[in-house]
Structure 1
Amino acid sequence: MTRRKSIKGQLSGLVDGMEAASRSAHGSTNAPVSSIRTGAAHQPRRRAEDANLQDLVTSIREQGILQPLLIRPIPGGYELVAGERRLRAAQLAGLTEVPVHIRDLTDAQALEAALVENLQREGMEIIDEVDATLALVANRLGIHRDAARHRLMAMLSSKVEADSPELDELFALLGKGTWQSFAKNKLRILNWPENVLSAMRNQGLAYTIAGIIAAAPTEYQAELLQFALGKTSKAQVRARAKELNPPKSRRIDRQATIVMARKLASERWLASLNDQDERELEDWLGKMPDRIRQALKPT
């Protein structure tokens, strides 16, 4: 079986500023904002309206768009491949045209370019990062997302070498650690309850708060989630979780204590002990707390 073309070769011209894109057949030019359609399937950031968007709007008004968007031709216009925040900021800044690199890309190439470009940027929500990285692995290995998830976990647990060199190269390009650290430390959050993950993806539920809810007993998770979505803090959610599920106090088994006391007071029971039993009993009595030992002394 022939090994797939090198990742670095396939990604050349699609990432790292898209420098090679300017040398493509279509070159670099300006395109009307109205002609660019966002393709949800290629946009890893679900919540592009992040807190820093206004800073980008201000920067574009003062300096323009420094890095062109990457788009591909579709019937009736273009589809955005990479640069969703820049496009949104340009719209907010009132621009009618934006600088673009136009490339003829397959669906797989467009997806990969969008994923890599976004993963190399700062400020991604961790759930978006996990989903995007998993989608990138699936795209690279030519398998479905769920299959990619199971493949990573199987490779981590069994240390199978299959696909490891390709994943090593892919994660090296991303500059976000190794595939092993991703599978071990981040992929596990997909085991959290689906309603918690949905709130992270669609309602901006913070990762740290989601972790508190996911760790709570199942019967309290829905109430905690509703409480957390009311713009509450991590401390408030943690306090509410403790209210719903307070630590169980340790209680003495009184019946067992009474039985033990009666046995120790029984001459007949003590006489039934063999030498080994007596030694173990003496050792046990020697470890008794001083307060209890003092209370047992004859008055």
Structure 2
Amino acid sequence: MNANNKKFGLGRGLEALLGDEDINLDLDSETADVSNLVENTVFKSEKNKVKITEIVPCSFQPRTEFDREALESLAQSIKEKGVLQPLLVRKKNDKYEIIAGERRWRAAQLAGLDEVPVIVKDLNDSETLEIALIENLQRENLSAIEEAEGLNRLMSEYAYTQEVIGKVIGKSRSYIANTLRLLGLPEEIKQLVKENKLSAGHARALIGCENAVELANKIVKEGLSVRETEALAADAKGINVKNIMPKQPKPVDRDLEKIMADLEEKLKLKVKINAGKKGKGSITLHYNTPAELSSLLDILEQR
């Protein structure tokens, strides 16, 4: 897909890539959801079953880490209900390469299945990369670094703008800009984020620090909160912490800070926890678009 196609809306381009004439999309919409498009394709195309051993992972998969616990949970669901949504694949030599659905494929193996339902599409490398990236950015719980790498590939290889990407995946331009900034961090820190040892909030605070790797290791070792990390980074940059921190802040509950950071990382939403008396409290989730709310519901339904 070239840059000229973008201004006419992502829906047309992705519909052309998947090649189903009977898929109904709002062609005036720039926010056509590739996951919905894949699901529509599933129910309007003939389903085939392929042996798991004949399927290989996508070489363009942006995800490098798969949560074992989440896979086992999905595997249990597959044992009970089967694979409800076929994998999207393409023929590659004597195998089938996954375009969308690698988590289902991995979970199906854990569930002991011999074969899984698939939809076979005739796509070239360029088309496969584009669909795989967008599908993952919309549906998968990627780490902040994996997400940034995927966003960067869409911009550098397909001339997507931050505004268009934001509409496609339901994120604000500021969110995308802040996520892309993480790519400027040292490789050691990016790996810590991929391994969920550092949150995106921790990592962003370290941008611009000369001794960022040393600080990152200190944060991991001491279990510092994002707020404490910001103060540590400000000190390293020679910034007067009093000018950036609120006056007379309330005592920080490190456990709550960590829980909020973990929730924000997993849900991709701003989370606020208000601790009350006698162990009671409330959790507030902030979303900016219907797509973010839909993504949250998908995550909750998987639990």
TM bin, normalised by shorter chain, reads: 0.5 to 0.7
User: 54, 65, 70: which is aligned to 1:35?
Assistant: 54
* Offset from partner CA, 1:227-251 (integer Å, 9 cap, x none): 4555x63349948x859x69999xx
For residues 57 and 115 of structure 1, do their structure 2 counterparts lie closer, same or farther at Cα, with a shift above 3 Å needed? same
User: 178, 185, 191: which is aligned to 1:185?
Assistant: 178
Structure 1 contact 228–237 (Cα < 8 Å) conserved: no
* Structure 1 equivalent of residue 91 of structure 2: 73
State the one-letter code of the partner of 1:234: L
Identical-residue share of aligned pairs (%): 32
- Report the CA distance between 1:49 and its aligned residue: 2.4
User: 173, 176, 188: which is aligned to 2:171?
Assistant: 176
Structure 2 contact 146–194 (Cα < 8 Å) conserved: yes
For residues 209 and 182 of structure 1, do their structure 2 counterparts lie closer, same or farther at Cα, with a shift above 3 Å needed? closer
State the one-letter code of the partner of 2:171: K
* Offset from partner CA, 1:79-128 (integer Å, 9 cap, x none): 11111111111111111101111111011111111111111115221211
* 1:10 matched to 2:13: yes
- Report the CA distance between 1:202 and its aligned residue: 5.8
* Structure 1 equivalent of residue 100 of structure 2: 82
- Report the CA distance between 1:195 and its aligned residue: 2.5
- In the alignment, the residues of structure 2 paired with residue 176 and residue 85 of structure 1 have an alpha-carbon distance, to the nearest angstrom, of 23
- In the alignment, the residues of structure 1 paired with residue 177 and residue 226 of structure 2 have an alpha-carbon distance, to the nearest angstrom, of 29
State the one-letter code of the partner of 1:172: K
- In the alignment, the residues of structure 2 paired with residue 210 and residue 2 of structure 1 have an alpha-carbon distance, to the nearest angstrom, of 31
Q: Which ranges of structure 1 fall in alignment gaps of 5 or more residues?
A: 142-147, 153-166, 250-299
Structure 2 contact 42–85 (Cα < 8 Å) conserved: no
* Structure 2 equivalent of residue 209 of structure 1: 202
Instruction: Note the 1:198-277 alignment, pairs <5 A.
Output: 198-201=191-194, 205-214=198-207, 217-219=209-211, 221-228=212-219, 233-235=223-225, 238=228
* 1:59 matched to 2:77: yes
State the one-letter code of the partner of 2:50: A
The two structures have a TM-score, normalised by structure 2, of 0.60
Structure 2 contact 182–203 (Cα < 8 Å) conserved: no
For residues 169 and 209 of structure 1, do their structure 2 counterparts lie closer, same or farther at Cα, with a shift above 3 Å needed? closer
* 1:110 matched to 2:128: yes
Structure 1 contact 224–237 (Cα < 8 Å) conserved: no
State the one-letter code of the partner of 2:143: E
For residues 81 and 135 of structure 1, do their structure 2 counterparts lie closer, same or farther at Cα, with a shift above 3 Å needed? same
* Offset from partner CA, 1:148-176 (integer Å, 9 cap, x none): 7xxx6xxxxxxxxxxxxxx6455423222
Question: Secondary structure at the residue paired with 1:98?
Answer: strand
- Structure with bigger helix share is 1
Question: Which structure has the larger Rg over C-alpha atoms?
Answer: 1
Question: Secondary structure at the residue paired with 2:139?
Answer: coil
State the one-letter code of the partner of 2:181: R
* Offset from partner CA, 1:249-270 (integer Å, 9 cap, x none): 9xxxxxxxxxxxxxxxxxxxxx
- In the alignment, the residues of structure 1 paired with residue 188 and residue 66 of structure 2 have an alpha-carbon distance, to the nearest angstrom, of 21
Q: CA RMSD in A?
A: 3.6
| Number of aligned positions between the proteins | 218
Q: Which ranges of structure 2 fall in alignment gaps of 5 or more residues?
A: 19-33, 241-303
Structure 1 contact 90–98 (Cα < 8 Å) conserved: yes
* 1:130 matched to 2:148: yes
Q: Which moved more, 1:127-136 or 1:69-78?
A: 127-136
- In the alignment, the residues of structure 2 paired with residue 200 and residue 2 of structure 1 have an alpha-carbon distance, to the nearest angstrom, of 31
- In the alignment, the residues of structure 2 paired with residue 170 and residue 97 of structure 1 have an alpha-carbon distance, to the nearest angstrom, of 35
- In the alignment, the residues of structure 2 paired with residue 182 and residue 237 of structure 1 have an alpha-carbon distance, to the nearest angstrom, of 19
- Report the CA distance between 1:20 and its aligned residue: 2.8
- In the alignment, the residues of structure 1 paired with residue 239 and residue 149 of structure 2 have an alpha-carbon distance, to the nearest angstrom, of 37
* Structure 1 equivalent of residue 64 of structure 2: 46
